[in-house]
């Protein structure tokens, strides 16, 4: 090892060139690395989706969903199955066990849907099967105008799409609100009957009036491609068709029109009707640069077309920019802090050597990110922020030891070599324990595992980079920069070391009392603290969006809903400017508290985009802006998202809108769990489920701190079933015959296609009065084998049933769900379930099925996985220590610091008024590796002692590096602990756990460890 270190010190030119190559390569790598909100991730899920317009949820369930579910249950790789069935469509989510072969299962599930095809209607497409992926938009662009019609607006949207498609890193640009223009044959039933036309034969003829398929080709001296002439509306109007022996011009029995189909969604921007362009980027590309480019394109387009108003919502590049600014400003500020701390305690030369290690480590890490195709995203950048204080530890220990050897009178080269070699294995072991503390987090399964995966990876890359820097570049930098200078600081350290040595000697006199405190009282305090700690999955933070959503009575059309919410939109307009950047309305959709989209004409969802928050604390107001690489303008919002949500609720309380049954104001939070409370109730009886849900909601409304309570037990449109009666059967009517005849008049379905200048146009058949119930009852169907008609209500019984608007099934069990949000300052998820569990037990006794989801389910799974990760981390750390010390006792002494350090975490949470969170617990796992680092350095030195005086002497030698590594790590986390902004508050609990845990761990390493070591080795030392 000595030769390895010696090589890079003596080959100075080579090492300097290598350093320069690393810096240049990192700049190139930075330009290549993708910058996005979240890393693209493949989930352990497979989606099966299908659709058949006009089918009720219950019909689709019987027709396809149940069969697919039954086939899926036989696979051992399946963890659970969740199905959502709506009018005309269904989605089955197959949750897989960890490490399942997704590609193999994908192929097998496609076989299942392919085999199902024979049992489906001939005009229903085979259900699709795909692997679920996390997808995040770049932005939504609203194209609005008060003067242009829909056709003109769509033309402009299409022009913008064409311009944007030239940006190479954009992978998907979709125009929403771009409903198809179809040709409608609105059949006049009375005229058809007057002419004696057989309706079944008519539908058959109309399904053959056009074709888009090629006929063939002629390959002679001249080549010809043969196809049929495409017809337009006038061609169809004047077309003569032959039904049986009756010839008739099409316009005589139908109104033929080309028009937009009824939109499934209506969009608005700041209350003005709009067309929305959904813009998404690929895995490569800089979200910040692309967003800036798009904004310039829109600005120039507006100058040419002032009648067009553009709005940008959910611009994720702003979030990337804010996180990037946070990380860079913290890194630079951390560099300055580390430099001054080292300068205060040592001198400017060693400060420079150690501080150089931070950008060098980040440079090496940037090369690794580019090589392994990772991205700079919210989580990787926050991981870098967490690692900031740790990556100087190796440099401090190596640099301080080289300086100590110089003080011993050695030459610079000799001191650089001997000082590095002496601490090589302790430093490697310390770095590896940190890495092995974080890497087991990869064992955390499910969506949370996917969500946090990049954190341990990023921290590991940075720690290993700092290790590389500490042994390759730092010894040479130390040789060239360090110089022994007598100063008052050296005298201070001598006096302080003597003070520590005497204090430690005093504790040694009362060693058993000290051990009693550390080994008995501290665990008791930890137990008391844990008992009184409250747990929430993620901390609350100031969001950049607010959701305003709700629903009207189920009979509301999409146009009525869009008109009815104008009062809400007018109320929101008064906030646009200072606090609100703008708001985008989507009518026909509502995002529920699970992050799913409820679809229906009576739903609405308003995305309220907030301006950047005006900084209020000293750091973010005055210091951070100096170091931010991207200057942020319009930080003018004075209210938090939570405050604004309360203001919205207060304003909306005075609004009375007829037909509105639900209005929610939600501040979306981070993570994979979108709702604090998710309770699903299933059973055979629809009435019992509804009754149970009402009981549960009544109890929930009485619990303080519970709000936004709603459910999905909404009854949909009545289902009308036609049952052929005995008279109809005698006349020869069959279900298939009636289906074929009625579908052409009442399905409003596609029966044919043609072309126009823009592409394919669907031909839709329907009765011009199809939406009248009386029209259906008196609709005259053709009596089989004749040309005579009879009213439908004469041959069929009409059976009307009530059904839910949406079916939600868990492992084949249909259930309805109640959602709610909690105010964590008042009540946590665990406290909530203590209050409602008696009622849930009653439901189970009544034969109902209760399924707990949301934060409670995720927390339970997460804590189980985290316990495993903690055990694995401690075992791996122990193994490294055994390898290093060739002893089982010394590793046991060092490992004992880990559980005792938890007291620091509890004290930190109490001081900062924080609940324990998921990331706080991850911080505890990470603390296991960080807190033993100083212990390794301490034990590695005092194990050489042969008596008590030498134990005290060697311990005092380690005082300076132990204090410096702890102080720099604490100050590296300082801004994240005390001045988090925006979404960086997600990691505040993790920083508190590491920072305060390490602060208390430093006391343990300086006092508890030498005492415990001495007690265990006392007899050996006296010998």
- Reference 789, options 251, 185, 189, 204; nearest CA is 189
pLDDT band at 431 (very low <50, low <70, confident <90, very high): confident
Tokens 């109730």 -> residue: 681
Q: Specify the pLDDT at position 136.
A: 61
Q: Specify the pLDDT at position 793.
A: 93
Separation of alpha carbons 1015 and 1010, rounded Å = 9
Separation of alpha carbons 474 and 350, rounded Å = 10
Percentage of residues in the chain with pLDDT exceeding 70?
A: 96
CATH dotted code for 181-260+717-804 = 3.30.2090.10
The SS3 call for residue 963 is helix
Structure tokens at 126: 């085979």
- In this predicted structure, the answer to whether residue 185 has a pLDDT above a threshold of 90 is yes
The SS3 call for residue 752 is strand
Q: Specify the pLDDT at position 674.
A: 66
Q: How many residues appear in the chain?
A: 1023
What is the tens place of the pLDDT at every residue in 664-716?
898 887 656 667 888 999 887 888 888 999 999 999 999 998 988 888 887 77
Separation of alpha carbons 445 and 860, rounded Å = 12
The contacts of residue 65 (CB under 8 Å, 6+ apart) are 83, 85, 90, 92, 809
The SS3 call for residue 443 is helix
Q: Specify the pLDDT at position 24.
A: 94
**Mean pLDDT score of the chain:** 86
What is the tens place of the pLDDT at every residue in 41-54?
666 889 999 988 77
> 543-668 adopts what CATH topology?
Alpha-Beta Plaits (3.30.70)
- In this predicted structure, the answer to whether residue 1022 has a pLDDT above a threshold of 70 is no
Is 181-260+717-804's fold the same as 543-668's? no
Return the CATH superfamily for domain 488-532+887-1022: Multidrug efflux transporter AcrB transmembrane domain (1.20.1640.10)
Angle, helices 918-942/854-885, rounded to nearest 10 degrees: 10
pLDDT band at 1023 (very low <50, low <70, confident <90, very high): very low
- In this predicted structure, the answer to whether residue 792 has a pLDDT above a threshold of 60 is yes
- What does the pLDDT average to over 965-981? 85
- The secondary structure of 673-702, three-state, reads CCCCEEEEEECCCHHHHHHHHHHHHHHHHC
- The alpha-helical segments, DSSP class H, found in 408-539 are 412-422, 424-438, 446-452, 454-472, 474-481, 488-509, 511-516, 522-532
- In this predicted structure, the answer to whether residue 36 has a pLDDT above a threshold of 80 is no
CATH dotted code for 1-32+351-485 = 1.20.1640.10
- In this predicted structure, the answer to whether residue 527 has a pLDDT above a threshold of 90 is yes
Q: Specify the pLDDT at position 168.
A: 81
Q: Where are the domains of the chain?
A: 1-32+351-485, 42-133, 181-260+717-804, 488-532+887-1022, 543-668
- How many helices (H) and strands (E) in the chain? 43, 32
- In this predicted structure, the answer to whether residue 605 has a pLDDT above a threshold of 50 is yes
pLDDT band at 65 (very low <50, low <70, confident <90, very high): very high
Q: Which of 126-140, 258-272, 896-910 has maximum average pLDDT?
A: 896-910
- In this predicted structure, the answer to whether residue 248 has a pLDDT above a threshold of 90 is yes
What is the tens place of the pLDDT at every residue in 806-842?
888 888 888 888 988 888 888 888 889 999 999 999 9
- Reference 392, options 336, 310, 447, 323; nearest CA is 336
What is the tens place of the pLDDT at every residue in 334-357?
778 878 887 887 788 888 888 888
- In this predicted structure, the answer to whether residue 435 has a pLDDT above a threshold of 50 is yes
What is the tens place of the pLDDT at every residue in 76-106?
889 889 998 988 889 999 988 877 888 899 9
- In this predicted structure, the answer to whether residue 178 has a pLDDT above a threshold of 70 is no
Return the CATH superfamily for domain 42-133: Multidrug efflux transporter AcrB pore domain (3.30.70.1430)
């Amino acid at each position: 090892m000595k030769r390895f270190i010696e090589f890079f010190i003596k080959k100075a030119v080579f090492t300097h060139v290598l350093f320069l190559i690393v810096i240049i390569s990192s700049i190139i790598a930075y330009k290549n690395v993708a910058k996005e909100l979240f890393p693209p991730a493949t989930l352990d899920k497979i989606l099966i989706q299908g659709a058949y317009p006009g089918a009720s949820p219950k019909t689709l369930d019987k027709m396809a969903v149940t069969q697919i579910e039954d086939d899926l249950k036989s696979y051992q790789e399946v963890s659970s199955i969740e199905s959502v069935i709506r009018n005309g469509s269904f989605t089955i989510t197959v949750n897989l066990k960890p490490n399942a072969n997704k590609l193999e299962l994908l192929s097998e599930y496609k076989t299942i849907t392919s085999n199902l095809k024979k049992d489906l209607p001939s005009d229903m497409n085979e259900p699709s099967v795909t692997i679920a992926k996390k997808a995040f938009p770049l932005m939504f662009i609203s194209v609005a105008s008060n003067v242009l019609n829909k056709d003109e607006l769509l033309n402009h949207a299409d022009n913008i799409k064409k311009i944007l498609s030239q940006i190479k890193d954009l992978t998907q640009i979709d125009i929403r609100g771009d409903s198809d223009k179809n040709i409608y044959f609105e059949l006049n039933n009375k005229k058809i009957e007057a002419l004696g036309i057989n309706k079944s034969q008519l539908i058959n003829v109309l399904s053959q009036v056009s074709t888009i398929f090629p006929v063939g080709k002629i390959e002679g001296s001249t080549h010809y491609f043969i196809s049929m002439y495409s017809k337009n509306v006038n061609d169809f109007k004047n077309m003569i068709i032959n039904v049986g022996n009756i010839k008739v011009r099409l316009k005589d029995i139908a109104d033929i029109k080309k028009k937009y189909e009824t939109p499934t969604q209506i969009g608005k921007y700041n209350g003005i009707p709009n067309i929305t362009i959904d813009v998404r980027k690929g895995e490569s590309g800089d979200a910040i640069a692309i967003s800036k480019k798009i904004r310039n394109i829109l600005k120039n387009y507006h100058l040419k077309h002032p009648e067009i108003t553009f709005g940008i919502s959910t611009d994720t590049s702003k979030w990337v920019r804010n996180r990037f600014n946070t990380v860079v400003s913290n890194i630079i500020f951390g560099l300055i802090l580390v430099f001054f701390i080292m300068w205060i305690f040592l001198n400017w030369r060693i400060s420079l050597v150690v501080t150089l290690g931070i950008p060098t480590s980040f440079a090496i890490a940037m090369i690794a990110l580019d090589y392994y195709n990772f991205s700079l995203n919210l989580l990787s950048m926050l991981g870098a922020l967490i690692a900031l204080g740790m990556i100087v530890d190796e440099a401090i220990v190596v640099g301080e030891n080289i300086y100590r050897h110089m003080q011993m009178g050695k030459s610079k080269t000799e001191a650089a070599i001997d000082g590095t070699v002496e601490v090589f294995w302790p430093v490697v072991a310390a770095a590896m324990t940190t890495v092995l503390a974080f890497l087991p987090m990869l064992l955390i399964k499910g969506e949370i595992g996917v969500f946090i995966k990049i954190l341990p990876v990023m921290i590991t890359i940075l720690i290993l980079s700092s290790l590389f820097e500490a042994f390759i570049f730092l010894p040479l930098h130390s040789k060239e920069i360090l110089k022994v200078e007598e100063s008052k600081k050296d005298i201070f350290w001598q006096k302080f070391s003597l003070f520590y040595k005497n204090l430690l000697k005093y504790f040694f006199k009362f060693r058993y009392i000290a051990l009693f405190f550390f080994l008995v009282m501290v665990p008791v305090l930890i137990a008391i603290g844990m008992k009184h700690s409250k747990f929430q999955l993620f901390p609350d933070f100031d969001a950049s969006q607010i959701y305003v959503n709700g629903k009207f009575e189920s009979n509301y059309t999409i146009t009525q809903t869009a008109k009815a919410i104008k009062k809400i939109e007018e109320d929101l307009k008064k906030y646009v400017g200072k606090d609100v950047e703008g708001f985008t309305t989507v009518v026909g959709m509502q995002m529920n508290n699970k992050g799913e989209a409820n679809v229906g004409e009576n739903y609405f969802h308003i995305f309220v985009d907030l301006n950047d928050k005006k900084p209020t604390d000293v750091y973010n107001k005055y210091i951070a802006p100096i170091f931010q690489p991207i200057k942020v303008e319009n930080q003018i919002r004075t209210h938090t998202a939570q405050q604004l949500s309360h203001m919205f609720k207060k304003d909306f309380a005075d609004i009375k809108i007829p037909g509105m049954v639900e209005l929610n104001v939600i501040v979306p939070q981070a993570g994979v769990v979108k709702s604090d409370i998710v309770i699903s109730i299933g059973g055979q009886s629809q009435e019992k489920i509804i009754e149970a849900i009402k009981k549960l909601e009544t109890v929930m409304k009485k619990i303080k701190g519970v709000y936004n309570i709603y459910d999905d037990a909404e009854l949909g449109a009545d289902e009308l079933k036609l049952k052929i009666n005995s008279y109809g059967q005698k006349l020869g009517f069959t279900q298939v015959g009636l289906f074929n005849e009625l579908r052409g008049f009442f399905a409003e379905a596609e029966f044919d296609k043609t072309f126009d200048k823009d592409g394919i146009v669907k031909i839709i058949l329907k009765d011009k009065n199809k939406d009248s119930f009386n029209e259906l009852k008196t609709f005259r169907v053709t009596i089989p084998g004749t040309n005579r008609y009879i009213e439908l209500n004469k041959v069929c019984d009409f059976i009307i049933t009530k059904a839910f608007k949406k079916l939600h099934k868990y492992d084949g069990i249909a259930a309805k769900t109640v959602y709610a949000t909690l105010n964590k300052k008042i009540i946590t998820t665990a406290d909530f379930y203590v209050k409602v569990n008696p009622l849930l037990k009653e439901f189970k006794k009544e034969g109902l099925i209760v399924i707990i989801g949301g934060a409670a389910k995720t927390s339970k799974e997460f804590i189980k996985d985290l316990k495993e990760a903690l055990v694995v981390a401690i075992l791996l750390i122990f193994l490294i220590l055994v390898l290093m010390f060739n002893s089982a006792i010394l590793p046991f002494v060092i490992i004992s610091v880990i559980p005792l350090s938890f007291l620091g975490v509890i004290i930190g949470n109490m001081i900062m008024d924080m609940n324990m969170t998921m990331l706080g617990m991850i911080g505890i796992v990470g603390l296991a590796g960080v807190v033993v680092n100083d212990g390794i350095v301490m034990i590695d030195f005092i194990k050489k002692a042969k008596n008590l005086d030498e134990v005290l002497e060697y311990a005092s030698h380690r005082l300076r590096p132990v204090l410096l590594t702890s102080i720099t790590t604490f100050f590296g986390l300082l801004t994240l602990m005390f001045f988090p902004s925006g979404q960086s508050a997600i990691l505040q609990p993790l920083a508190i756990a590491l920072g305060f845990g390490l602060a208390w761990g430093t006391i343990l390493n300086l006092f508890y460890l030498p005492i415990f070591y001495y007690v265990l080795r006392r007899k050996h030392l006296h010998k």
